[in-house]
């Protein structure tokens, strides 16, 4: 049977292993010294050490990963998301060994995974674009000239990668120099590529993305769109499908643009074409992620498809087993990212030992987790602990199921985003679906204030109970509390 190495860690490695094992494939895991007790190792048939150090010396180290793959005699390498998943150099290096890269070709990745090249391709196809100069910036003088041409505010973006890394909103020339340096440094650390560019900043748009899947025979399909507007610092917190506010004409136009973009470069495997929709209902191409998305789960929940299984079939040169007319939307799905962070401490990372871990067991609830009780959360990597995905017959039903599941999800030993999620899901704008990517920027203080008040009330109640019990002791009155 085929042998698969997953060049990643945590929940996405586990999620890929689960599908591969269903197919009878042999699974190979890699790990850094910080991950030597990671849960994803328990799901593999073979495990190999990448050594000590940060991601640049382990999960981002192309030579180390490929040396292990050759030694283990694997047939396929799946990059997951993050790390090397959008590195054309990695895909090319894998291809040269004769091992199959589970993803698009290196050539397609260069054209569409790089934001500058993708925008150039989209512009040639006539896909709507925000105002900007589609070229990398060589220095501050050039950046100042471009910003004046575009008009403030502008957005600084990294040409490679995703997840909000290397992104900054700039409101004036005075802030541009420092922001450029920070964006370049963050992009280099995250993706090994410090090229950045500028484009117009759109205030409070909706973030909509189209999931596509293509095979090596030239077929490309699109799945129901995802709404990913609930973000903090350009990083998504909650994703859902479908986007109920989209008119059918706009949905169809965006989906067709996504397919055309993929076909223009002979794209195959999974990919996601991202758009912004402004407050007037105009949409603009944002970027393409040439990999599996964190939020692919909600697309699976409303279609019944297994995107990882489809990736593996495409990598095996099999044609897609379905046609566009076979893809239907059933109900509504929402995903909440459970992160190891403390919202009351400016969302500071919360690493440490998980002393208790209980997950909800409910119908129409899916949990993709990278941790369990007695596992340690390292400081070196993404704070994602688990993804909680809930399905409902409609959006209100999905929200209620998500709230119930979050209440039943109990993690102790570290701080998590679970309480924050419960606060958000009670906000009337979230319930009504009236929010854009700036929602938390505008409402974070009031949401956190409500959490502060809740904590104060709990503390006051606990103190009152303690004083009452002490008073009963002093009076020698029997009590049964």
Q: What stretches of 115-219 adopt beta strand conformation (E)?
A: 154-158, 168-170, 196-200, 206-214
User: Within this chain, do residues 214 and 195 fall inside the same structural domain, yes or no?
Assistant: no
User: Within this chain, do residues 216 and 195 fall inside the same structural domain, yes or no?
Assistant: no
What's the pLDDT band for 44 if we cut at 50, 70, 90? very high
Does residue 340 fall inside a structural domain?
yes
Helical (H) or strand (E) element with 420: helix 418-424
Compute the average pLDDT of residues 241-258.
96
Hey, how many other C-beta atoms are within 10 angstroms of the C-beta on 288? 33
Q: Quick one: which of 368, 112, 327 has its CA closest to 241? A: 327
Does residue 161 fall inside a structural domain?
yes
Q: Which of 200, 231, 248 is the last residue of a domain?
A: 200
Question: Is the peptide bond between 153 and the residue preceding it cis, with omega within 30 degrees of 0?
Answer: yes
- 36 three-state secondary structure: coil
Catalytic residue among 251, 291, 337, 395, which? 291
User: Within this chain, do residues 40 and 85 fall inside the same structural domain, yes or no?
Assistant: yes
Distance CA 145, CA 153 (A): 14
Q: What is the pLDDT of residues 275-299, one digit of tens each?
A: 999 989 999 999 999 999 999 999 9
Does residue 125 fall inside a structural domain?
no
Q: Which domain holds residue 145?
A: 131-200
pLDDT at 175: 86
Distances (CA, A) of 12 to 40, 440, 454: 9, 27, 34
**With 50 as the cut, is the pLDDT of residue 470 above it?**
yes
pLDDT at 180: 86
Collect contacts of 442-449 with beta carbons under 8 A, ≥24 apart. 444/232, 447/420, 447/423, 448/343, 448/344
**With 70 as the cut, is the pLDDT of residue 451 above it?**
no
168 is catalytic: no
First-last CA distance in the chain:
61
User: Within this chain, do residues 196 and 231 fall inside the same structural domain, yes or no?
Assistant: no
**With 70 as the cut, is the pLDDT of residue 452 above it?**
no
Compute the average pLDDT of residues 381-405.
97
Does residue 109 fall inside a structural domain?
no
Compute the average pLDDT of residues 376-389.
95
pLDDT at 112: 95
Looking at per-residue confidence, does 407 or 164 come out higher? 407
Number of domains in the chain: 3
Does residue 232 fall inside a structural domain?
yes
User: Within this chain, do residues 62 and 179 fall inside the same structural domain, yes or no?
Assistant: no
Q: What average pLDDT is seen over the chain?
A: 92
User: Within this chain, do residues 277 and 395 fall inside the same structural domain, yes or no?
Assistant: yes
User: Within this chain, do residues 229 and 195 fall inside the same structural domain, yes or no?
Assistant: no
pLDDT at 157: 86
Residue 142 sits in a domain of what CATH number?
A: 3.30.1490.20
What's the pLDDT band for 2 if we cut at 50, 70, 90? very high
pLDDT at 178: 83
pLDDT at 453: 47
Does residue 116 fall inside a structural domain?
no
Q: What is the pLDDT of residues 330-362, one digit of tens each?
A: 999 999 999 999 998 989 999 999 999 999 999
The answer to whether 166 and 193 have CB atoms below 8 angstroms apart is no
Compute the average pLDDT of residues 260-269.
97
User: Within this chain, do residues 255 and 303 fall inside the same structural domain, yes or no?
Assistant: yes
Residue 231 sits in a domain of what CATH number?
A: 3.30.470.20
pLDDT at 396: 98
- Whether the pTM exceeds 0.75: the reply is yes
The answer to whether 235 and 163 have CB atoms below 8 angstroms apart is yes
Give the least confident one: 115-119, 251-255, 303-307, 338-342. Answer: 115-119
Q: Quick one: which of 327, 129, 317, 118 has its CA closest to 212? A: 327
pLDDT at 474: 64
Looking at per-residue confidence, does 60 or 113 come out higher? 60
Question: Is the peptide bond between 47 and the residue preceding it cis, with omega within 30 degrees of 0?
Answer: no
User: Within this chain, do residues 62 and 97 fall inside the same structural domain, yes or no?
Assistant: yes
User: Within this chain, do residues 400 and 302 fall inside the same structural domain, yes or no?
Assistant: yes
Q: Which of 200, 229, 247 is the last residue of a domain?
A: 200
Hey, how many other C-beta atoms are within 10 angstroms of the C-beta on 392? 18
Distance CA 336, CA 385 (A): 11
Residue 29 sits in a domain of what CATH number?
A: 3.40.50.20
Does residue 357 fall inside a structural domain?
yes
Point out which residues pair with 199 in neighbouring strands.
Answer: 132, 155
| Residue found under tokens 């109920």 | 244
Give the least confident one: 189-193, 310-314, 431-435. Answer: 189-193
Q: What is the pLDDT of residues 65-75, one digit of tens each?
A: 999 999 999 99
Backbone dihedral angles phi then psi of residue 406, each to the nearest 5 degrees: -65, -40
User: Within this chain, do residues 255 and 188 fall inside the same structural domain, yes or no?
Assistant: no
User: Within this chain, do residues 31 and 94 fall inside the same structural domain, yes or no?
Assistant: yes
Does residue 478 fall inside a structural domain?
no
Q: Which of 141, 175, 200 is the last residue of a domain?
A: 200
Alpha helices in 151-295 (DSSP H): 176-191, 248-264
pLDDT at 459: 42
**With 80 as the cut, is the pLDDT of residue 192 above it?**
no
């Amino acid at each position: 049977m085929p042998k698969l190495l997953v060049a990643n860690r945590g929940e996405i490695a586990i999620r890929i292993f689960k599908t591969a094992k269903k197919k009878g494939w042999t699974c190979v895991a890699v790990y850094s010294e910080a991950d030597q007790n990671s849960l994803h190792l328990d799901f593999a048939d073979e495990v190999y050490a990448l050594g000590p150090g940060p991601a640049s010396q382990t999960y981002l180290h192309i030579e180390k990963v490929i040396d292990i793959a050759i030694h283990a005699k694997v047939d396929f390498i799946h990059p997951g998301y993050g790390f090397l998943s959008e590195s054309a150099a990695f895909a090319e290096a894998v291809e040269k060994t004769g091992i199959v890269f589970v993803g698009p070709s290196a050539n397609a990745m260069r054209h569409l995974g790089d934001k500058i090249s993708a925008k150039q391709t989209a512009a040639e196809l006539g896909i709507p674009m925000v105002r900007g100069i589609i070229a990398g910036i060589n220095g501050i003088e050039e950046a100042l000239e471009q910003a004046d041409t575009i008009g403030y505010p502008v957005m600084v973006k990294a040409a490679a990668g995703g997840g909000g890394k290397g992104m900054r909103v700039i409101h004036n020339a005075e802030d541009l120099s420092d922001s450029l340096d920070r964006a370049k440094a963050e992009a280099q650390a995250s993706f090994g590529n410090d090229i950045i560019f500028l484009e117009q900043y759109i205030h409070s748009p909706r973030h909509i993305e189209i999931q596509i899947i293509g095979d090596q025979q030239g077929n490309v399909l699109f799945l129901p769109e995802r709404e990913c507007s609930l973000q903090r610092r350009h990083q998504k917190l909650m994703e859902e499908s479908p986007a109920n506010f989209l008119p059918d004409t706009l949905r169809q136009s965006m989906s067709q643009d996504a397919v055309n973009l993929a076909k223009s470069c002979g794209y195959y495997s999974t990919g996601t074409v991202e758009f912004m929709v402004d407050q007037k209902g105009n949409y603009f191409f944002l970027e393409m992620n040439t990999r599996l998305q964190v939020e692919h789960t909600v697309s699976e929940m409303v279609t019944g498809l297994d995107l990882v299984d489809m990736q593996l079939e495409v990598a095996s040169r099999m044609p897609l087993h379905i046609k566009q007319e076979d893809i239907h939307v059933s109900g509504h799905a929402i995903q909440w990212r459970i992160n190891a962070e403390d919202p009351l401490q400016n969302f500071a990372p919360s690493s440490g030992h998980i002393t208790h871990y209980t997950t909800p067991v409910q119908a129409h609830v899916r949990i993709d987790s990278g941790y369990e009780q007695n596992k340690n959360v390292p400081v070196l990597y993404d704070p994602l602990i688990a993804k909680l995905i809930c399905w409902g017959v409609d959006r209100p039903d999905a929200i209620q199921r998500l709230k119930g599941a979050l209440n039943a999800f109990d993690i102790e030993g570290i701080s998590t985003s679970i309480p924050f999620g419960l606060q958000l899901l009670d906000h009337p704008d979230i319930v009504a679906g009236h929010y854009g990517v700036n929602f938390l920027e505008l409402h974070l203080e009031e949401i956190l204030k409500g959490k502060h008040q809740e904590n104060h009330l709990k503390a006051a109640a606990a103190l009152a109970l303690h004083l009452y019990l002490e008073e009963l002791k002093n009076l020698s009155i029997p009590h049964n509390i």
